[in-house]
């Protein structure tokens, strides 16, 4: 009585998704470009298909997770109207524009389309901390939500199919910013032989405490009111050359941080000396810059 599901793409993520569906008792049909990868899943009870068309014929719900959306477009092309009447859930990482384009193509081919952003690594799938962002066809989402919940939490972001990718990329942007800062700090402490792992004992609580300010920055960004009594742009502008000088003196590249100096300079030039760092989000808007 559980919904049959087809999984197209059995990389690390696709394999984790198919395996979770099998463990939850769904009939699962799998296809992968390199057929050898179906082996472990077939051992768990999946049915292997010879082609995407053969695979989608088996299920009303089709999950696709390939390397890139170009690969998804190729598979969709090959399927033609054989995807008609089915729901395609695309969990491949991509851009909002790609998601909108694939949604339009799927609609032309008679399929319902959901785009998704997986906020988990394969080992987390079906565990308590995994969740997936969804956008697109809301009716298809409601119909298949219980099945999709096998992967972890489900989070609806809206009917614009590009929104799941926008949320996904925005969350990962925050992560990359954090990674960049941590790596720069490690490179800097290592110049004096300080152990990066030891240093993490100071770094993690510090960054965590600073991150607690994010909701307040968010309120400032939403309202456009950036005046602060915490740490002004003027004070950061005065201090930041010390960072670039220290990177240089210690033999660490400043290439990731030099752009930050440029935006602090711009904030001062444009009269935002008394604002907090939340002003930066406004300064990044390209239309604002050109105005």
| 3-state secondary structure at position 204 | helix
Strands across the sheet with 153-158, in order? Answer: 47-48, 28-31, 5-8, 61-64, 87-90, 112-119, 131-136, 153-158
**In the structure encoding, which two tokens stand for residue 212, read together?**
């607690």
**In the structure encoding, which two tokens stand for residue 13, read together?**
């993520």
Nearer to ligand NDP (CB atom), residue 80 or residue 85: 80
CB of 38 to ligand NDP, least distance (A): 10
Pairing, β 61-64 against β 47-48:
unpaired
Helix 233-250 with 258-269: angle, nearest 10 deg: 150
Nearer to ligand NDP (CB atom), residue 121 or residue 202: 121
CB of 8 to ligand NDP, least distance (A): 8
Instruction: Give start and end residues of each alpha helix (H) in 12-162.
Output: 12-23, 39-43, 52-56, 69-79, 96-108, 138-148
CA atoms within 13 A on the CB side of 286: 0
Nearer to ligand NDP (CB atom), residue 6 or residue 92: 92
Stated as kind and residue range, the H or E segment containing 64 is strand 61-64
Per-residue interface string for the shown chain with ligand NDP, residues 72-91, x marking contact by CB under 6 A:
--x-----------------
Q: Which one of 61, 79, 103, 118 is in contact with ligand NDP (CB under 6 A)?
A: 118
Q: Which one of 78, 97, 104, 121 is in contact with ligand NDP (CB under 6 A)?
A: 121
Q: Which one of 5, 13, 49, 166 is in contact with ligand NDP (CB under 6 A)?
A: 13
**In the structure encoding, which two tokens stand for residue 44, read together?**
């768990």
Q: Should residue 9 be labelled a site residue for ligand NDP when binding is judged by CB under 6 A?
A: yes
CB of 9 to ligand NDP, least distance (A): 4
Nearer to ligand NDP (CB atom), residue 115 or residue 275: 115
Q: Should residue 56 be labelled a site residue for ligand NDP when binding is judged by CB under 6 A?
A: no
Stated as kind and residue range, the H or E segment containing 133 is strand 131-136
Distance between CA 274 and CA 260 in Å, rounded? 18
Number of residues that bind ligand NDP (CB under 6 A): 20
Nearer to ligand NDP (CB atom), residue 34 or residue 208: 34
Q: Which stretch binds ligand NDP (CB under 6 A): 12-20, 98-106, 236-244, 253-261?
A: 12-20
CB of 155 to ligand NDP, least distance (A): 14
Nearer to ligand NDP (CB atom), residue 41 or residue 233: 41
Q: Which one of 4, 37, 57, 281 is in contact with ligand NDP (CB under 6 A)?
A: 37
Per-residue interface string for the shown chain with ligand NDP, residues 87-116, x marking contact by CB under 6 A:
-----xx-----------------------
CB of 140 to ligand NDP, least distance (A): 20
Nearest residue to the partner ligand NDP, using Cβ: 11
Instruction: Give start and end residues of each alpha helix (H) in the chain.
Output: 12-23, 39-43, 52-56, 69-79, 96-108, 138-148, 163-190, 196-211, 214-223, 233-250, 258-269, 279-283, 286-290
Q: Which residues bind ligand NDP (CB under 6 A)?
A: 9-14, 32-34, 37, 65-67, 71, 74, 92-93, 118, 121-122
């Amino acid at each position: 009585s559980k919904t049959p599901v087809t999984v197209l793409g059995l990389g690390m993520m696709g394999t984790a998704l198919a395996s979770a569906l099998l463990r939850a008792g769904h009939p699962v049909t799998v296809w992968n470009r390199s057929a050898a990868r179906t082996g472990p899943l077939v051992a768990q009870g999946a049915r292997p298909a010879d082609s995407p068309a053969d695979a989608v014929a088996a299920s009303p719900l089709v999950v696709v997770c390939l390397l890139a959306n170009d690969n998804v477009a190729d598979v969709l092309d090959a399927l033609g109207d054989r995807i008609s009447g089915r729901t395609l859930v695309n969990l491949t990482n991509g851009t909002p524009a790609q998601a909108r384009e694939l949604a339009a193509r799927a609609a032309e081919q008679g399929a319902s389309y959901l785009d998704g952003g997986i906020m988990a690594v394969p080992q987390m799938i079906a565990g308590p901390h995994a969740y997936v962002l969804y956008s697109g066809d809301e009716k298809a989402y409601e119909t298949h939500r219980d099945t999709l919940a096998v992967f972890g939490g489900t989070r609806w972001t809206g009917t614009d199919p590009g929104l799941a990718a926008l949320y996904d990329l925005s969350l990962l942007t925050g992560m990359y910013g954090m990674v960049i800062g941590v790596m720069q700090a490690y490179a800097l402490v290592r110049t004096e032989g300080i152990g990066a792992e030891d240093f993490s004992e100071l770094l993690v609580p510090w960054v965590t405490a600073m991150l607690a300010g994010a909701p307040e920055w968010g309120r400032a960004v939403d309202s456009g009111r950036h005046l602060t009594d915490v740490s002004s742009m003027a004070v950061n502008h005065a201090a930041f050359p010390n960072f670039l000088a220290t990177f240089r003196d210690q033999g660490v590249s400043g290439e990731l941080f030099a752009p930050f100096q440029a935006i602090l300079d711009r904030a001062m030039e444009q009269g935002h000396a008394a604002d907090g760092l939340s002003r930066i989000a406004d300064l990044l808007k390209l239309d604002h810059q050109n105005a």
